[in-house]
């Protein structure tokens, strides 16, 4: 689920102007798609990027996350394993700078932040070289205000 508007890198100085243009153009395209396809149109916001390098970087980060998610899926599938997964809506994950699947160790409470931190710790014990999940662990662990609302779950 990715719609990207990629402008030349030289346009980044006027990023606000191009953000507005992107939103305007996207709404026009969305209304045309919605008219043609009923309600099955674009339900997620676009991303604006400046320069092809930024698109390549975004796609590489998402591929790295997918690779680590595959390893997470394998690790969480084992019987007797406390590790499970938490699935986020892709658009929400992108907005939060997270992969759409996070490790989780369920607890008796309803604190998704603590469950994800425990899941990340468990996953990193198994696969200590994971860069994407290690970065997320460091970020979430330091940010007491980090929350995952149940409405963000897939």
Mean pLDDT by 10 residues, the chain (154 residues): 88 92 86 64 81 94 93 86 89 89 89 93 95 96 91 84
Torsion of CA 144, 125, 60, 87, to 10 degrees: -60
Q: Are 1 and 46 in contact (CB under 8 A)?
A: no
Is the pTM here over 0.85, yes or no?
no
Instruction: Give the per-residue pLDDT at 64.
Output: 93
Check residue 3 and give its pLDDT. Answer: 83
- pLDDT at position 87 is 94
For 110-116, the CB contacts below 8 A with 24+ separation are: 112/86, 112/147, 112/148, 112/150, 113/140, 113/146, 113/147, 113/148, 115/86, 116/86, 116/140, 116/148
| Per-residue pLDDT, 78 | 76
- Whether residue 4 contacts residue 55, with contact meaning beta carbons closer than 8 Å, is answered with yes
Which pLDDT score, from 0 to 100, does residue 37 have?
58
């Amino acid at each position: 689920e990715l719609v990207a508007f990629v402008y030349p890198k030289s346009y980044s100085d006027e990023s606000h102007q191009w953000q507005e243009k992107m939103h305007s153009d996207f709404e026009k395209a969305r209304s045309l798609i919605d008219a043609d396809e009923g309600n099955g149109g674009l339900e997620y916001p676009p991303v604006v990027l400046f320069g092809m390098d930024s698109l390549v970087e975004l796609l590489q980060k998402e591929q790295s996350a997918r690779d680590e998610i595959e390893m997470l899926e394998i690790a969480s599938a084992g019987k007797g394993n406390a590790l499970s997964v938490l699935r986020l809506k892709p658009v929400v994950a992108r907005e939060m700078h997270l992969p759409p699947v996070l490790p989780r160790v369920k607890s008796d409470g309803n604190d998704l932040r603590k469950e994800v931190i425990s899941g990340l710790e468990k996953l990193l014990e198994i696969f200590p070289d994971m860069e994407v999940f290690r970065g997320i662990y460091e970020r979430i662990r330091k940010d007491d205000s980090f929350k995952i609302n149940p409405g963000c779950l897939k």
